[in-house]
Structure 1
Amino acid sequence: MAAAVPLLLVLGVFGGLLRAGVGLAQGGLAARAAVSHGMLMASVFFGAVIGLERAVALRRPLAWAVPAAALAGGLALAAGWAWGGALLLVLGSCACVAVHAGLLARERVPHIALLGVGALAWLAGNLVQALQPGDTAALAFWFSFLVLTVTAERLEMTRLTRRRAGALGALAALVAVLLAGAGGTLVDGRAGIAFGAALVALAGWLLRHDVARRTVRAAGLPRYMALCLLAGYAWLAVGGTAWALWSAGSLAWRDAALHALGLGFLVSMVLAHAPVILPAVARLKVAFGPGFYLPWGLLHAGLAWRLAGPLGSAAARSQGALANAAALALFALTLAAAHWRWRRQHPA
């Protein structure tokens, strides 16, 4: 199962490069990767990674069904069985909802409830894709799933810190607007304005309540993680703003909306948490070092050039996409080098 995760990531990134105008490959697997790029990244890859993390923690058969179904769905998409891939993703998200329903029945705490709401959003997105392939509402629901999952995990990590009165109530209101905006796009694309506004407000909520504002003044890994988180929240606000403009009728903002969220926010979260999650999930310990800042810097520089270079320039879009793909590859090499360095430091 674990071997399929990087394979599908490579396929998704390859499809994204083709859509950005990098390369001339046509037909067969290349065409399927380009057409399914959004689904491969937002629903398959991130769904599988989140499912794997949860399954390792819970050690329950139903939890393992989530990443298994997501990865099988991705392989079906790669093989050209689009409807089968969509169906497998629906089944995987159903299992995800069931897992979180069981957790919530035993422990009613805000972060588990939010994880459950995120799982429902994933299921909604997969159902929309299965019934109405290509509908923008599927993208909105998938991003809702991912953003709410990250928010829930940050909520769990900061659950012992003091929050001002009404903070959780404000978060609940933002989640309601976010999901209403996502669902509203099924009947009117302009509902995405509310969805984008909720993303911007959620970025402000995370920035206000996350401990990253304090740990950024620390050293070593805590500072690195804080910088990744803070940069991610900034991109979340950019993505929400671009989504609102896109929904208001300006198609030129579509690429900025999708990639500020998918690369700027979500990949920033991956870069932040991988040094901590990798040892827990894959049993591969890493030694943190300044080299981690190289892929981080390349990611944000490439994305900034893609979105704010010569606005609308096809060349800037292609160059930025290449830089982002290089940042992901460099991060994988950085993790491998950090693991090798840890083994040298702990020969026993």
Structure 2
Amino acid sequence: MGRPTKTSPARRWIPARALFGALAGVSLVAGMAGGLWRLGVAVPDPHSFTWTGQVLLVHAALMVCGFLGTVIGIERAVAVKHRWAFVAPLASGAGALCLAFGPQAAGAWLCVAAAVFFLAVNALVVWRQRAAHTLLLAVGAAAWVVGNLLFAAGRDGSAVFPWWFAFLVMTIAAERLEMTRLMRRRPAASVTLHAVLALLLAGAACSGAAPRAGGLVYGAALALLAAWLAVFDVARRTVFTRGISRYMAVCLLGGYAWLGIAGVAWAATALGWPARDAALHALGLGFVISMVMGHAPVVLPAIARIKLRFGAFFYLPLAALHLSLVVRLALGSFSDPLRAAGASLNAAAIVFFAVTVAGAAVAWRIQHGAEGARKAR
């Protein structure tokens, strides 16, 4: 009898990576479909599905908890190198499936469990490395716990959304703080950042009981954070470089512009202006998805063991995203059909980016396969 062959660690992780990828992908597709159906865009006809009503109601939860929460949870679990850390993205992905296709109450509480485990993972990170950015990551995780508890308790979007976005915004701010920690900054810069983020949390805390006051504070905090990032982030320097560093800087600076617009729109919404769509999607798409597009070429190889061939073609889906937001939020403010068309283009830009990433992975394999064949001759 032959000796049993050992399976490499990389091969053992292939089914797990496929599972997590499927959970995040289903959450993203269902979330985008729910957002389009809410605006009357039938792709495909929503009446052909018995679960359409569920998806319509939980569009935001699918995007924030199901897709982004799962992706961020995987990234953090890979970083801490503990198997139990993967419980967080597994619970958020499973919760999203329940929200879209099964018992929604179970899905909501699975999302709470995901956030609690995610907070524990970030507590471990703080224990290993006590630094300003790790503490901010933990506070952002705590904001996700609060938002998910409010969601599970049946509170409306005015109470839940500020906490969900605080989770995303603080996670991104913490990562940018880590990236720029070696830059020389004025001593007041870090103090100012923490004051702005404290203002953001205060606005989130007030929004449920006093939506007007909480919304004004929250919007001001978003606008101030956009200004801080534009002034102090390393992107304002790396935008003058080349290659992937420049691409990331363009993504970041464009996202900061949308963050500022979201802050103004959030405050305007609190004052009674019809700017809710601009507030939510300038923040959720213009800022957050721009950050995803900017970091994906660096993060994906680390967490999914997928190597990408970077090229100028990465700018195409980024440009499509920003142009689609202009159509939706600027032109769409005067016309519902234009708003729906802009939303369709938003979804198309995200799909375009996914296709671009897949193409970059295939291009890398083809290029390096050809190089390996030449060396073998």
For normalisation by structure 1, the TM-score amounts to 0.97
Long gaps (5+) in structure 1 = none
> How far apart, CA to CA, are the structure 2 residues paired with 1:144 and 1:287?
33
Pick one of 25, 34, 39 that aligns with 2:46. 25
> How far apart, CA to CA, are the structure 2 residues paired with 1:75 and 1:139?
20
Long gaps (5+) in structure 2 = 1-18, 373-377
| Count of aligned pairs between the two proteins | 347
Shift, 1:158, TM fit: 1.3
Tell me the equivalent position of 2:235.
Answer: 212
Shift, 1:310, TM fit: 4.8
Pick one of 306, 319, 327 that aligns with 2:341. 319
Identical pairs, percent: 49
CA RMSD of aligned residues (A): 1.2
> How far apart, CA to CA, are the structure 2 residues paired with 1:184 and 1:152?
23
Pick one of 260, 263, 283 that aligns with 2:282. 260
> How far apart, CA to CA, are the structure 2 residues paired with 1:215 and 1:18?
39
Tell me the equivalent position of 1:249.
Answer: 272
> How far apart, CA to CA, are the structure 2 residues paired with 1:202 and 1:341?
38
**8 Å contact 1:114–1:149 — kept in the other structure?**
yes
> Rg larger in 1 or in 2?
2
Shift, 1:303, TM fit: 0.5
Tell me the equivalent position of 1:239.
Answer: 262
Q: What secondary structure does 2:46 align onto?
A: coil
> How far apart, CA to CA, are the structure 1 residues paired with 2:51 and 2:335?
27
Correspondence 1:10 to 2:52: no
Q: What secondary structure does 2:187 align onto?
A: coil
**8 Å contact 1:128–1:135 — kept in the other structure?**
no
Correspondence 1:194 to 2:217: yes
1:141-178 CA distances to partner (integer Å, 9 max, x unpaired)? 00000000001111111111111111111111111110
**8 Å contact 1:242–1:253 — kept in the other structure?**
yes
Give the structure, 1 or 2, with the largest relative contact order (CA under 8 Å, sep 6 or more). 1
**8 Å contact 1:21–1:314 — kept in the other structure?**
no
For normalisation by structure 2, the TM-score amounts to 0.90
Aligned residue runs from structure 1 range 45-194, under 5 A: 45-190=67-212, 191-194=214-217
Displacement over 6 Å in runs of 4+: none
Shift, 1:78, TM fit: 1.4
Question: Which residue identity lines up with residue 73 of structure 1 in the other structure?
Answer: G
> How far apart, CA to CA, are the structure 2 residues paired with 1:327 and 1:135?
26
Q: What secondary structure does 1:108 align onto?
A: coil
> How far apart, CA to CA, are the structure 1 residues paired with 2:150 and 2:137?
20
> How far apart, CA to CA, are the structure 2 residues paired with 1:135 and 1:259?
14
Question: Which residue identity lines up with residue 25 of structure 1 in the other structure?
Answer: P
> How far apart, CA to CA, are the structure 2 residues paired with 1:91 and 1:122?
11
Tell me the equivalent position of 1:340.
Answer: 362
